[in-house]
Amino acid sequence: MWPRFGIKIGNSTLCIAYVRADGKAEVIANKQGDRVSQACLLWNGDSETECGLTAKQKMATRPKQAVAHSFQLLQSKSEITEDKLTSALKEVPCEYDKESFVFRMEHTKPADREDQDDIVVTKEMSAFQVTVELLRAELELARQYHTASDQAPMAVLSIPSYYPPQSVKLLSDAAKDAGFQVAQIIAEHTAAVLCYKIAEEQLEQSLDRQHVLTIKCGGLYSDFVLYAVENGYLIELAKYGPFPIGGKQFTEALVQFICEEFKRKYKLDPHESRRSLAKIRTAAANCKHILTTLPSTQLYIDSLMDGVDFNAQMSRARFESLIQPVINGLIQQLSECLERAQQAHPELKVIDHIVLLGATMQIPKLQSALAARYPDAKLHNSHSTDEVVAIGCARQAVFLLDPLHSQLQKADDCVLVEDDLYIWHGNDDSNAKLVLSKGSILPAKIKVSLPQSGQADASDAALASFKLRTGQSEIMAHLPDTTPTIDDGLFQLEVEVDWDDKDGNIVPLVRLRCM
Amino acid sequence: MTNSIELECSALKVVRHKIERVGCAYFNARRQIGDSSGVERSDSDEKLAGAGEDVDISYLKSLDPKEWKDQDHYSVLGLGKLRYEASDDDIRRAYRRMVLQHHPDKRKAKGEEVITDDDYFTCITKAYEILGTSKLRRSYDSVDPEFDDAFPTQTDIDSDYFNAFNKYFNLNARWSEKTSVPPFGDVDAKREEVERFYNFWYDFKSWREFSYLDEEDKEKGQDRDERRWIEKENKVARIKRKKEEMTRIRALVDLAYNNDKRIQRFKQEEKDRKAAAKRAKMDAAQAQKAEQERAVREAALVKEKADKAEQKRIEQIRIEREQQKKVLKKERKTLRDKIKDCKYYAKNDKDQLKHMEATEKICETFTLTELQSLNKAMESKGRESFMVAMQTADQKIAAQLEELNMAQKKQQMNNTPKSAASSSTIKEVKKGELWSNENVQLLIKAVNLFPAGTAQRWDVIATFINQHCGADCSPVSARDVLNKAKALQNSDHSKSTLKAHANDAAFQSFERSKKEVQTTNDITLGDAPADTKENVKQNGGDHLTSSNHHHPQQQPLLPESKQNGNATPAAAAAAATPTTPAPTSNGVASKTWTKEEQALLEQAIKTYPTTTPDRWDCIAACIPNRSKKDCLRRVKELVELVNSKKEAQAAVK
């Protein structure tokens, strides 16, 4: 059963973390040594496909054989609308068959002889199949830690919050096909909150209701989810997105800069050549990653166009000035969403925590901009933002009740007690016992043994009377049978608290039984 | 006896939320709901449901805390029935329960007299101390006083083998380090199962250890040395006990194994199987051997039969052929005889010769059936049919000749390189010219000069021919020579134009000689008019007849080319003489040296050495009809001939 795994799968990247029974989650590095794998698949034109970084590198030269950003198409056919599809397909390098919903990869085999035409072979893969392949690559990483061969590794997977329930089912099936035992599928944002143990801290310090804003900015899209944390439970208040602001926009800003710079210097327009653009894009993405950790970097592109190299010094400050408009857009979007949330939930006054997730959130300028925007909130960014989801999933894997039974529903509709419920015998409220603590889920069945109150000898009626208290109000409860068994001066009571729905109002019911 | 009440408790504030199914708190809450029996809340919030049975208070009171080591800790905690099967949770809950009931403070509250120093409650805490710690519990379990170390008795084994051992093995299985213990099985158990069972038990690894029985506690040692000594002692004792335990298990398994009817059965089965296999193998080997022998025999028989048939066939063919030959010979003979009897159907002498020739031709060319039919036809029709046969024979020969020529031409065509059409025609022409009569004669001469066995015979012959033919002749190659010689050798005399030619010449000379004989009747030799060309011819013919006298009339029919070679040049020369004008009779005579004359000449040369004065006169005197000049010329010729022969040989070498 151990270790268990947490997997984050997204449009651009995959990440897997493992956790042992002690609850410490660790990200597993792939064979290139990267902790995050690229969600790219490349078909070699024959029988093999490869996933990960190598696929991504080859994608530039063989775009017709590669699939990337496929996860957004892992949806049921009815869910994929025309405009969704067109926006999604901008990012997919290979062809996509809109009728049968499959990626069509083309490979041109050079002809054996001069006079023959080149042979074009195609391979079709659905988004589901691509996801299975990608997860299979992750399974290989999981195998390093999961040695039991008879049982599939147990995994908790994440899914973006805005995905429909059908996709959850699809993802679960894909993971099962890849060879995982799917225990649960949770939203990415929820996983991020779990990673920072916000709910547990609250429970420990018995704090009041807190609000957590989770901001995800991934490779293509960004979305925001607002959570309330109460009694250690996570309650999703509102979610917004997806907005087309992602790492791609940041890269694109840098690409534009490089193009202009190049044009200015050499009077050559890289926009004319698709290959040049691809080169710039790769370099820009690389530069972006370096600048998240280093103050400056050398931007060098070999033979960018017509044999001319491009070489420039890129400082973080310059990069930040370039991406400022994108950041502004994101912040503005966020503010709008928050305003809407406050209208919908008037109790939402202050944001206590901000959790960042998605690789793009690594950008220091973005983090500082958010910190400046919400100075009161605690900004959680101690974990790498692209690993946070996988770690959260792995942590969730620790809590599982029945891990063999996969749980695909994200939320559970529950009735919670908002106040403590105490019970005692007679008038002896010094011996009052807690039946239900604040935040307990109904229905609940509790056995309590109550000591007999001092004035036990008074009367039969008093003998069988108990009192319940919640908040300020007290309730008398008389057991109809006047002879409750008393064992060593203790009442063995069974208290059942349930609820009934009366005209939309939830009315709690308390059932007392004496054993 | 329960009673219950249900109340609406609107004062209790509740709220409905969609909670994410994540996190510790959520799952804890869920766990409680999932627990159908409900959650028990007590002072310490501990759940105690179903923890052990009640313990007799008198038993507890009888316990002496000082002798804790000998007490049954499970019974103390009220787990006397569960014993080693009790879970940690069971033990914990049983202890809690005992504490609630028997804690001195509780009893004091109830008004009981408690002596704190020597209370049985110490036994409870001690029991929990041991059973609550997994290591200590294991050591206590190892020496569980209720465990039966005994073996099944012989009577048990005899009466109910399986039940007896099943019980003991199940008992001992609890010591196994591996959790899955193979079952003992019953009479019908499969062989693998039984083997697995015994393998397991013979490799049995027990976790049973005997630290609980240690004489002294290590921690009681005063100092390090003492502690070490105690430890050493304990270790020795433990190892001894462990050994005993292992021998016990081993003995039990041995006992079971030796009494196991199944093992005996398997052994017997195995034996039977092996015997059967051996027998089968032997049978198979024998069968194979027999089969092989049979195959060999059959093959030999078949071969013998085939050989016999082949021999028979060959014999038959031979006999047939012989018969055919015989018949053919017979037929030919009859034909010849018949024709001879009929005087060759000749109207005159000329015809007779022709017919004689034709008869031979017919004999050679006609097949058996044709001959037979001819013979029959001749009986009835005589001359007519013979003439027809003669014609057909001629036709056949002509056709064959034609064929041969065609083939030769073709070959020549093929031989000429493809380079140029013009050159090939020239060559063809030349080839045609190549074998003129002179050349053929030269060839024959050369062939005789250089017999088979001469080194590089054909090259020598070619050079010889090239040296002797005139300048206008194109040179011949060894290959050409070889081909021609072969053609000459192979060719039927009747088909050879050369021979026909020679025969003609011979016949003419024969005619002439006949005439001469007639004329000599009238004219004396000495008065022979020497001026006329005719006389010259007659003279030549005379000489020729003298030479030809040795050969009877069949001379043209002589099949062998060698004889031809000897005869034909002379004949040819004789034939050629009329065309070439001979100025003198000497000149004519010089060409016709007979063998006798030659021999005489050689003899004379030998008798008169070079020193003899008037040598050539003497030599000439020895040879009749030869002048001194003739002899000189002849010798010169011979010398030339010898020299050229030598030269040719030298040139090749």
Question: What DSSP state is assigned to residue A360?
Answer: G
Is it the case that residue B302 has pLDDT exceeding 90? yes
Bond prior to B529 in cis (omega within 30° of 0): no
**Cβ contact A351:A376 at 8 Å:** yes
In this predicted structure, what is the pLDDT of residue B541?
A: 45
CA angle, B578 then B583 then B585, to 5°: 80
Alpha carbons A249 and B505: distance in angstroms, whole number:
123
Q: How far is B199 from chain A (nearest CA, A)?
A: 24
pLDDT by residue (tens digit) across B548-572? 444 444 444 444 444 444 444 444 4
B207–A contact, CB cutoff 8 A: no
A313 burial via Cβ count (<10 Å: 0-12, 13-18, 19+): exposed
Q: CA of B101: which chain A residue's CA is closest?
A: A488
Task: Grade residue B298 by pLDDT with cuts at 50, 70 and 90.
Answer: very high
Which chain A residues contact residue B20 at CB under 8 A? 186-187, 190, 227, 233-236, 410-412
Is it the case that residue A206 has pLDDT exceeding 70? yes
A461–B contact, CB cutoff 8 A: no
Residue A360 pairs in a beta bridge with none
Which chain A residues contact residue B35 at CB under 8 A? 445
Give the homologous superfamily in CATH for domain B610-651: Homeodomain-like (1.10.10.60)
**Cβ contact B636:B601 at 8 Å:** no
- Start-to-end Cα distance in chain A: 40
| B458: enclosing H helix or E strand | helix B457-468
Residue A508: which of B4, B14, B26 has the nearest Cβ?
B14
In this predicted structure, what is the pLDDT of residue A218?
A: 86
Say whether A446 and B12 touch across the interface (CB within 8 A).
no
Is it the case that residue A281 has pLDDT exceeding 50? yes
Q: How far is B30 from chain A (nearest CA, A)?
A: 8
A259–B contact, CB cutoff 8 A: no
Q: CA of B26: which chain A residue's CA is closest?
A: A233
Is it the case that residue B273 has pLDDT exceeding 90? yes
Q: Helix A127-143 and helix A165-178: axis angle, to 10°?
A: 50
Q: How far is A156 from chain B (nearest CA, A)?
A: 11
B15–A contact, CB cutoff 8 A: yes
Residues 19-38 of chain B whose Cβ lies under 8 A from any Cβ of chain A:
19-27, 29-38
In this predicted structure, what is the pLDDT of residue B591?
A: 59
Say whether B21 and A480 touch across the interface (CB within 8 A).
no
Percent of chain B with pLDDT strictly greater than 70: 78
Question: What DSSP state is assigned to residue B36?
Answer: T
A227 burial via Cβ count (<10 Å: 0-12, 13-18, 19+): buried
Say whether A447 and B49 touch across the interface (CB within 8 A).
yes
A194–B contact, CB cutoff 8 A: yes
Which chain B residues contact residue A508 at CB under 8 A? 8-10, 12, 14
Q: What mean pLDDT do residues A331-343 have?
A: 91
Two tokens at A304? 């960018």
The more confident residue out of B311 and B476 is B311
Residue B17: which of A235, A434, A478 has the nearest Cβ?
A235
In this predicted structure, what is the pLDDT of residue B295?
A: 95
Q: Where are the domains of chain B?
A: 44-142, 154-259, 272-410, 436-491, 610-651
Residue B25: which of A203, A407, A512 has the nearest Cβ?
A203
Q: How far is B106 from chain A (nearest CA, A)?
A: 11
Is it the case that residue B140 has pLDDT exceeding 80? yes
B10–A contact, CB cutoff 8 A: yes
Is it the case that residue B301 has pLDDT exceeding 80? yes
Q: How far is A388 from chain B (nearest CA, A)?
A: 15
A133–B contact, CB cutoff 8 A: no
Alpha carbons B20 and B36: distance in angstroms, whole number:
23
Q: How far is A443 from chain B (nearest CA, A)?
A: 7
Task: Grade residue B443 by pLDDT with cuts at 50, 70 and 90.
Answer: confident
Two tokens at A322? 């370039």
Instruction: Point out the least confidently predicted range of A186-190, A242-246, A314-318, B343-347.
Output: B343-347
Residues 6+ apart with CB under 8 A from A345: A226, A237, A238
Which chain B residues contact residue A494 at CB under 8 A? 38
**Strand A505-514 relative to strand A49-51: parallel, antiparallel, unpaired?**
unpaired
| A234: enclosing H helix or E strand | strand A233-243
CATH topology of domain B44-142: Helix Hairpins (1.10.287)
A351–B contact, CB cutoff 8 A: no
The pair phi, psi for residue B42, each rounded to 5°, is: -130, -165
Say whether A236 and B1 touch across the interface (CB within 8 A).
no
Task: Grade residue B544 by pLDDT with cuts at 50, 70 and 90.
Answer: very low
- CATH classification number, A247-322, choose in 3.30.70.100, 3.90.950.20, 3.90.640.10, 3.40.50.1980: 3.90.640.10
In B467-579, at which residue ranges do the beta strands (DSSP E only) sit?
none
**A407-431: string of b/e by CB count within 10 Å (b at 16+)?**
bbebbbebbbbebbbbbbbbebeee
Maximum average pLDDT range among A231-240, A439-448, B425-434 = A231-240
The CATH class of the B436-491 domain is mainly alpha
A424–B contact, CB cutoff 8 A: no
B180–A contact, CB cutoff 8 A: no
Q: Given CA atoms B587, B591, B597, B601 in this order, what sign does their dihedral have? A: positive
Percent of chain A with pLDDT strictly greater than 70: 93
ipTM above 0.85, yes or no: no
In this predicted structure, what is the pLDDT of residue B105?
A: 81
| A183: enclosing H helix or E strand | strand A181-187
Residue B7 pairs in a beta bridge with A510
Q: What mean pLDDT do residues B607-619 have?
A: 81
CATH topology of domain A4-185: Nucleotidyltransferase; domain 5 (3.30.420)
Which chain B residues contact residue A229 at CB under 8 A? none
The more confident residue out of B515 and B224 is B224
pLDDT by residue (tens digit) across A259-276? 999 999 998 888 888 888
CB atoms within 10 A of CB B98: 24
Say whether A418 and B14 touch across the interface (CB within 8 A).
yes
Task: Grade residue B36 by pLDDT with cuts at 50, 70 and 90.
Answer: low
B380–A contact, CB cutoff 8 A: no
Which chain B residues contact residue A159 at CB under 8 A? none
Nearest Cα neighbor of B508 from B345, B346, B347, B353 is B353
Is it the case that residue B418 has pLDDT exceeding 60? no
Q: How far is A181 from chain B (nearest CA, A)?
A: 18
In this predicted structure, what is the pLDDT of residue B590?
A: 52
Q: What mean pLDDT do residues B489-503 have?
A: 64
Backbone Cα Rg of chain B: 70
In this predicted structure, what is the pLDDT of residue A510?
A: 80
Q: CA of A489: which chain B residue's CA is closest?
A: B110
pLDDT by residue (tens digit) across B351-362? 778 777 877 887
In this predicted structure, what is the pLDDT of residue B569?
A: 46
How many beta-carbon contacts under 8 Å exist across A and B?
Answer: 187
Q: Where are the domains of chain A?
A: 4-185, 247-322, 414-514
Q: What mean pLDDT do residues A198-208 have?
A: 81
Which chain A residues contact residue B44 at CB under 8 A? none
Alpha carbons B160 and B175: distance in angstroms, whole number:
25
Residues 198-227 of chain A whose Cβ lies under 8 A from any Cβ of chain B:
199-200, 203, 227
B8–A contact, CB cutoff 8 A: yes
Two tokens at A234? 């996570």
Q: CA of B31: which chain A residue's CA is closest?
A: A401
In this predicted structure, what is the pLDDT of residue B570?
A: 44
Is it the case that residue B408 has pLDDT exceeding 90? no
In this predicted structure, what is the pLDDT of residue A224?
A: 92
CA angle, B426 then B431 then B433, to 5°: 95
Task: Grade residue B363 by pLDDT with cuts at 50, 70 and 90.
Answer: confident
